[in-house]
Amino acid sequence: MKLGQRIPLSIKRLGINGEGIGYYKRNVVFVKGALPGEDIYAELTKINRNFAEAKIIKIHKQSKARQTPPCPVYDLCGGCQLQHMKYGDQLKAKRDVIVQALHKYVKNSAKQVDIRKTIGMSDPWHYRNKSQFQVRKIGSHVAAGLYTENSHKLLDIDDCLVQDTRTTAITNKAKKIIEELDIPVYNSKTHKGIVRTIVVRVGLQTGEIQLVLITSRKNFPNKEVLLEKLKGIDESIVSIVQNINNDQTSLIFGDQTITLYGQDTIHEELGELAFDLSARAFFQLNPSQTVHLYNEIKQAAGLTGKEKIVDAYCGVGTIGLWLADQAKEVRGMDIIPESIEDAKKNAKKHGFTHTKYVAGTAEKWLDIWQKEGFIPDVLTVDPPRTGLAPSLINTLLQVKPKRIVYTSCNPSTLAKDLQELMKVYNVEYIQPLDMFPQTAHVESVTLLTLK
């Protein structure tokens, strides 16, 4: 194969990033925007040792799943990957991504695993309760949005079809105020300027809104005037926070956070639980679908009221607290101290006296607790995309909780982790859920039981 070569391809399936996958002379070819069942003519844009990438030149046979993406900047943005696919077909494709991952990493056991139909949303739009838009100067205009795919070019976004409309409306007003007051905007090349990012989080059940400005330093000209104008954007804004990040990094948040106006946190409700969320605290981005996710976790946990539970990667305690009313004891850990403080407050607020939250890694505390005689009956874990740390897997294989409920946002790392865990655990089933419609993200709940 040569760069620029044009080839015919039949697309067999979707990849983990939402691209179509075809084969040319036994070589894997990834094609952005292509759908399973399509016959296309494609041009090779990148060639690696084990695979190639291509772009669509012409679609000869179009999939019945194809639709026109409703977002006007869909092709430029890269934030969504599947708007060109009908929603029902997205759900089937996401289940298939899990199937393919299992066949790659646990081939001998893959056919025996019960992989259920994906649980979708009745309305798969405007579901994200939090936006994080980078701020940059484009000419004299202050822009806020996302970088176009694989570039440092910022796409100014006034409306986003997967964001709660309030997040984009408040961001739009904030960037206009920054422009009017001529507040210096951060330049990632020169490392000069003040405002780096605008973050807006909405409590979907309470209506409370928090506005966060990420800045390169604490003090800057017109700061008080800026604050007064930001307060007037929307009466639902109950918290305005400044976070300082002066590092040359792609990370959004720095270590120092200051409340400029109102509350330190916003209030949000999930089912019968309520949570106070600080600016840096992790919370599910799709709360309405999160209720379905947590109910699936609870069902998998199989609680009788006698179980000792460990909630690893616990964040502000949401999963553990969801299970607490049917558990004997809940313990959780997280490496972010602020999240642990929030978890403690959330547990106390709900009147739970049988919970314990500590800062640190899951493997550290599981080892300590095992030596003290505490072994969980159920361990629930919701790790980042990188999956479980090898050290945690080793600890789990030694501690041996009776049940592990593994919530995953990455089928590849899930399958890799199952490859190790299946040495002492059976995989009872995998339940996919669509937490991020229109994107390639695949969430699932896996129940493992001790052999």
DSSP state of 192: B
Longest dimension (CA), the chain: 66
Helices (H), 41-132: 74-77, 87-105, 107-110
- How many angstroms separate the CA atoms of 441 and 451, rounded? 31
Phi, psi of 163, rounded to the nearest 5 degrees: -90, 145
Is the CA virtual torsion 148, 151, 156, 160 positive or negative? Answer: positive
Task: Look at residue 238 and give its three-state secondary structure.
Answer: strand
Q: Which amino acid is at 92?
A: K
**What are 436's two structure tokens?**
């991020």
Q: What is the sign, positive or negative, of the torsion defined by CA atoms of 48, 51, 53, 59?
A: positive
Q: Which of 77, 160, 314, 409 is catalytic?
A: 409
Distance of CA 77 to the CA centre of its chain: 17
Q: Measured between alpha carbons, how far apart are the two ends of the chain, in Å? A: 48
Whole-angstrom CA distances from 336 to 164, 269, 316, 341 are: 27, 22, 10, 9
Instruction: Kindly give the residue spans of alpha helices, DSSP state H, lying in 181-313.
Output: 223-231, 287-301
Radius of gyration of the chain (CA): 23
Query: For this structure, is 71 an active site residue?
Result: no
Distance of alpha carbon 316 from alpha carbon 162, whole angstroms: 24
Instruction: State the angle between helix axes of 223-231 and 165-180 in degrees (0 to 180), rounded to the nearest 10.
Output: 150
Q: Which of 383, 435, 405 is nearest to 94 (CA)?
A: 435
Following CA atoms 14, 56, 159, 269 in sequence, which dihedral angle do they give, to the nearest 10 degrees?
Answer: 0
Nearest to 301 by CA among 331, 323, 269: 323
For residues 261 and 235, give the distance between their C-alpha atoms in angstroms, rounded to a whole number. Answer: 13
Catalytic residues: 409
